[in-house]
């Protein structure tokens, strides 16, 4: 019983981190049909920004994080407007090549500017403590991650289905020319969506920093995990990504508890089975 509770709690926390990072990629991949393999780099940049602000500039965590996320969004918007938008019409393979090149470049830049060491984000005392749940303790930071994941999921779902922006986005993706004739500002929608994806990546990088240490190779190291969540959840499906991330997080955690000498086997086995069963995503048919 204790084991089950442990698996669920640790699995949920790990899954939420995966979700927050992956949801931005699901947006760009699914809603914008742009293969952005530099997504991990945005997560890394968000994390590094928060680390720098809290450690060097000694800002409060609660101020540094929104600023870091906003900075990542701004960087995303600039990259999109200047460079990436020329790639929307290109083939997927070319998008892959370019964004991998961009990731390499950003890794090298991070290494050159900040060195190869792990960057720590200074947590406020509230988050640095451990919460005693009775049968075990849990770092408070994990609770924040779980809460944040749920908030992000709700906010993203609401934005896409209930706001005008969400309608514009869906229209712009499905029928760009018709949407343009209707007066929907396509370029603005594309740029804003990409920036939002980058912002979510940055947030994931910050919140996940306890589990996925911030170092220059971060940009590519965790990309596979994120792609897995997007694939299993279904491109563009936010509830799908949430379900996929939590399920896979629990599977991975369970394998660490029960069969850790098999490495990542069960994670990828579960992923293959889920994908084979629902190729278009968990919640799509």
What's the min distance (Å) between Cβ of 62 and other proteins?
A: 20
The answer to whether 61 and 122 have CB atoms below 8 angstroms apart is yes
Binder among 27, 173, 198, 212 for other proteins (CB under 8 A): 212
Stretch that binds other proteins, among 153-161, 186-194, 240-248, 269-277 (CB under 8 A): 269-277
- The answer to whether residue 56 forms part of the interface with other proteins (CB under 8 A) is no
Give whichever of 151 and 259 is closer to other proteins, judged by the CB atom. 259
What's the min distance (Å) between Cβ of 93 and other proteins?
A: 5
Give whichever of 44 and 179 is closer to other proteins, judged by the CB atom. 44
Give whichever of 150 and 269 is closer to other proteins, judged by the CB atom. 269
Q: How far apart are CA 117 and CA 262, in angstroms?
A: 29
- C-alpha Rg value of the chain to the nearest Å: 19
The helix or strand, by DSSP H or E, that contains position 138, with its residue range, turns out to be: strand 137-139
Long-range contacts of 185-190 (CB under 8 A, 24+ apart): 187/85, 189/165, 190/32, 190/80, 190/85, 190/88
Site residues (CB under 8 A) for other proteins, limited to 106-145: 106-109, 111-112, 116-118, 120, 130, 136-139, 142
The answer to whether 204 and 13 have CB atoms below 8 angstroms apart is no
Site residues (CB under 8 A) for other proteins, limited to 59-98: 83, 86-87, 90-94, 96-98
Closest CA to 139 of 150, 153, 125, 151: 125
- The answer to whether residue 39 forms part of the interface with other proteins (CB under 8 A) is no
Which residue's entry shows tokens 């999921």? 153
Give whichever of 191 and 223 is closer to other proteins, judged by the CB atom. 223
- The answer to whether residue 263 forms part of the interface with other proteins (CB under 8 A) is yes
Closest CA to 172 of 162, 156, 184: 184
The answer to whether 167 and 160 have CB atoms below 8 angstroms apart is no
Binder among 62, 88, 158, 257 for other proteins (CB under 8 A): 257
């Amino acid at each position: 019983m204790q084991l089950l509770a442990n698996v669920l709690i640790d699995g949920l926390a790990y899954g939420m981190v995966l979700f927050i990072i992956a949801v931005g990629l699901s947006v760009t991949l699914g809603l914008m049909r742009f293969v952005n393999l530099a997504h991990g780099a945005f997560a890394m940049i968000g994390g590094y920004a928060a680390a720098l602000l809290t450690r060097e500039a000694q800002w409060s965590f609660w101020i540094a994080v929104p600023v870091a996320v906003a900075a990542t969004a701004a960087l995303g918007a600039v990259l999109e407007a200047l460079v990436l938008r020329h790639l929307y019409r290109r083939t997927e393979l070319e998008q892959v090549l370019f964004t991998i090149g961009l990731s390499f470049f950003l890794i090298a830049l991070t290494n050159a500017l900040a060195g190869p060491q792990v960057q720590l984000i200074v947590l406020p005392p509230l988050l640095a403590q451990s919460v005693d749940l009775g049968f075990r303790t849990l770092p408070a930071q994990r609770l924040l991650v779980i809460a944040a994941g749920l908030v992000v999921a709700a906010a993203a779902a609401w934005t896409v289905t209930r706001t005008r922006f969400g309608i514009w986005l869906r229209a712009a993706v499905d029928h760009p020319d018709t949407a343009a004739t209707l007066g929907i500002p396509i370029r603005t929608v594309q740029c804003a969506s990409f920036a939002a994806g980058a912002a979510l990546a940055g947030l994931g990088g910050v919140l996940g920093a306890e589990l996925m240490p911030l170092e220059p190779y971060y940009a590519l190291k965790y990309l596979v995990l994120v792609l897995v969540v997007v694939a299993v959840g279904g491109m563009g499906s936010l509830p799908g990504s949430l379900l996929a991330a939590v399920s896979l997080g629990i599977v991975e955690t369970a394998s660490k508890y029960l069969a850790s000498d098999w490495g990542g086997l069960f994670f990828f086995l579960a992923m293959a089975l889920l994908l084979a069963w629902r190729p278009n995503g968990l919640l799509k048919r």
